A = this chain, B = another copy of it.
Amino acid sequence: MDPQRAEPLGSAELSMPRDRLALQKNSVCSRSYFLVVMVFVHVYIINVIALLLYVHYNNGPGDNSGPLSDVTSAAEPPEVGSHTHPPRAPEPSVVNRHLHRMEGIRVGHVQKVQLTPGRVHEMKTLSLKPLLFEIPGFLSEEECRLIIHLAKLKGLQESQVMIPEGGDELAEQLQISQEEIFHLLDHNRDGQLQLKEVLTHSRVRDGIWLTPENIREVYAGLKADPDGDGLLSLEEFKKLNSSAFQHFMQQRGVEKSQLVRNSKHTWLYQGEGAHHVLRQLRQRVIRLTRLPSWIVENSEPLQVVRYDRGGHYHAHHDSGPLYPETVCYHTKLTANASTPFETSCRYVTVLVYLNSVPGGGETTFPVADNRTYEEMSLIQNDVDLLDTRKHCDKGNLRVKPTQGTAIFWYNYLSDGKGWVGDLDEYSLHGGCVVTQGTKWIANNWINVDPDFHRQAQFQQLMADLDSREVHENRDDELYRDMQAERDHPQKNKVYSDQDLHQDL
């Protein structure tokens, strides 16, 4: 092939004038061709960049299985061995605003997922409200045993301790009068507080799980309800502040079984340098949820919980509702905001059963797939659906603990634009009382700020810290703070868990 023969092809593409080409043959052959090459090189490079950017912005980093693939395999995060992978720096400038959300399809639907090389797991939809899945064999027997062992080595602490003094700090901070509280509590607006109206208020704040009988007892002890009908008028309520209420309970003596939760737990760091089983667990969580690795890897460490016989955790939400002022524990430092509304912003909970419990210990979702959610109707005079010691069998859904099985669910709805929306109230769940043996579980929470920009800022900060190689202090500080707050929302930094989040 000589240049003469090649010319028509080239010129057809670029429509160069033939006569110029013929006149300046020598220089044209080098200069024009060079120009052409350069143009194509640049166009090509721009094109590739555009394609890459497009792919990045349209698929989550962990979301690269097309709609045609039968097995939904998130190929990106590879299963890592210990100490082999340097932490990938997040790229906040091109962070994806779209969080993958599984399709539930229908209760009982089974989809295949690839979590470990050479093995396909089955993921079954347990409920749509909340969006809840079960994955048998998520961890092997040995992995479960190892995690229990690591937790024991580290040592467990009581999940809930009695708070010596309660008080109405939040109410004082918000400057709400007793009268306003009364009207907030009086859901049915009959000018009187029923027992259950008092319960929804009090049981969450004080750490003591109150039953209707307890309240009657307190009323009697404090002579708050002279006519003894179990109803409080505004006048009666004004005389009774919650310090008095709690003080009475304290004096009366509170047993562990009367607390919101009765368990011990510890935290296991899963980042660089952690045991390879813990690192692998995190990678498996990324593959399972198909959430961006930069979010999962900056989430809370693994919580391992031990429930002894008689242990329980009354029904609760893993994360709080979102008000305009709400900030997340994990992005609080970045947000630089001061507000009494703080929550853990746990978008997803992945709970793994580390052993098969001989008796009890089910995870209950009392309102799963219920048609409606009404806080008030959860507490009836005879059945309190929130009480996992008494009424676990009355709930809509219970999952039996089976070693290695994981369940995972979304604590927040979608906002319809690919990010985190409102709290999913149906995600209410609890741990039924263990009647025989011991129950061990591991919780992996994925923290996402519903404010996309705050999450992006946080990622930027984490990346900066990563590059400065100050891992140990950074994580410890953040999570010590966070943990203290979660356990004792009224008393920040009074209890600091010294051993929290240290690697083994």
Contacts and interface: CB of A to CB of B under 8 A. Distances in A.
A9 B1 CA distance: 24
Contacts of A145: none
A9 B45 CA distance: 14
Contacts of A41: 13, 40
Contact of A3 (B34, B97, B371): B34
* Most chain B C-beta atoms within 10 Å of own C-beta, residue among A2, A30, A57, A58: A30
A61 B41 CA distance: 31
A33 B37 contact: yes
B3 A31 contact: yes
Interface residues of A, number: 57
Given A33-B30, A47-B48, A129-B128, A416 B6 contact: no
Interface stretch (A105-113, A191-199, A346-354): A105-113
* Most chain B C-beta atoms within 10 Å of own C-beta, residue among A41, A70, A417: A417
Given A58-B58, A70-B417, A31 B6 contact: yes
| Identical chains in the assembly | 2
A91 interface: no
Interface in A22-49: 27, 29-31, 33-34, 36-38, 40-41, 43-44, 47-48
A9 B103 CA distance: 49
Interface string A383-423: 00000000000001000000000000000011111110110
B29 A33 contact: yes
Interface of A: 1-3, 6, 9-10, 13, 27, 29-31, 33-34, 36-38, 40-41, 43-44, 47-48, 50-51, 54-55, 57-59, 66-70, 97-98, 103, 105-106, 109, 111, 128-129, 369-371, 396, 413-419, 421-422, 424
